[in-house]
Structure 1
Amino acid sequence: MTDEEQPAARRGPTWLILLVVAAALAVCCCSTVIGLAVAGSAGLLGR
């Protein structure tokens, strides 16, 4: 492998890691919203 080929080979895994992190954040945010909605409908939020 030459020095020119190495950065191109690293771009794939970097984007894959960013995609996995973004997906994990989306799942966390969605589960938080769903949990708050369920807690609110059950009257657990004190409203």
Structure 2
Amino acid sequence: MSDEEPSVARRGPTWLVLVVVAAALVVCCCSTVIGLVVAGSAGLLGR
């Protein structure tokens, strides 16, 4: 069983990194959408 423990230990941080990257992308996309909505409502987009 000691052979399986390192592989499990490696997969944990990999999933953690993927979750953090996905969360960062979601936050960036939401921030961009909110920024565009605010700019549009303020008339900064030239429409």
SS at match of 1:33: helix
Corresponding residue of 1:39? 39
Structure 2 partner of 1:30: 30
Normalised by the size of structure 1, how large is the TM-score? 0.88
| Inter-partner Cα distance in structure 2 for 1:19 and 1:11 | 12
Report how many residues are paired: 46
Aligned Cα RMSD in Å?
1.0
List alignment gaps of at least 5 residues for structure 1: none
Q: Percent identity?
A: 83
Q: Which runs of 5+ in 2 are unaligned?
A: none
Alignment of 1:9-20 (within 5 A): 9-20=9-20
Which 4+ runs in 1 deviate beyond 3 A?
none
Query: 2:21 maps to which residue?
Result: 21
Calculate the TM-score normalised by the size of structure 2.
0.88
